[in-house]
Amino acid sequence: MATRALDTRSSTAPRGRAAPRATDMRARRYDPAETKARVLAAAHMLFSRQGFANTGTADIARAADVSEGSIFYHFGSKKALLAELGRRHGEAMIEAMEEGYTLADLEPGITVPRVLRFVRDNMIWEGMEADCNECGPKSKMAQTPDAEPFYHAAKEVTTAWIKRHLEAALAKRGITGVEIDLAASFTHHVVGDAIDRWLCAATQEEADRIERETIRYVRAGSGYPLD
């Protein structure tokens, strides 16, 4: 009987090494950078589809095919994950504005249209595409507590870039006497308001008017000579 039992096991076992369990496969393919990238991609997708407030870390873990503990290991908390997404959103916006130019060569006639179109094409916060009310999409996002880490991280990155850009661009043009810190902060707020208005414009004519006036205003406020 023992011989027959051994024969039965031999006949049913697959040739070669036994197939590893799913947990073993996951352990072998673990790579910290790749895991973080999967988590960020899953979070971005879920926030886009169902909003910040309706997405939990367990949802993100399932979509990323990682353990929920991995999210806390790499990011510490959901807020920190949101902040990382915000930083990356800001960095992607900067890349879109800079494309093909040095900081010194950029000016509002280039950066303003680019940032408007970037935000239009990369809206991930809840409710923006469906509801442009009088408060504007940025206000709607900022009023959602779970969205605040994303918004503030993106703002920090982009405001720091505006400072660097103004320093380089104004120095190249020999423009002095501009308070860079204040000008960068004002520029961020003006463009943020313009984004709200531009996205919610009722007509293309209105959108074009908002874009033109934003360029003119930022040029004037930053010390650029007006044509």
The dihedral built from the CA positions of residue 28, 32, 34 and 39, taken in this order, carries a sign that is positive
Output 134 or 203, whichever has higher pLDDT.
203
* pLDDT value for 191: 95
Task: Give percent above pLDDT 90 in the chain.
Answer: 55
CA gap 210, 164 in Å, rounded: 25
Which among 217, 166, 158, 212 is positioned nearest to 188, based on CA atoms? Answer: 158
pLDDT over 50 at 149, yes or no: yes
Q: Which residues contact 195 (CB under 8 A, 6 or more apart)?
A: 115, 116, 119, 137, 138
Whole-Å CA distances, 80 to 49, 127, 135, 147, 185: 20, 22, 27, 11, 24
Token output for 182: 């204040």
pLDDT over 60 at 30, yes or no: yes
pLDDT, one tens digit per residue, over 152-165 is: 999 999 999 999 99
**Helix-then-strand count for the chain, H and E:** 11, 0
* pLDDT value for 14: 46
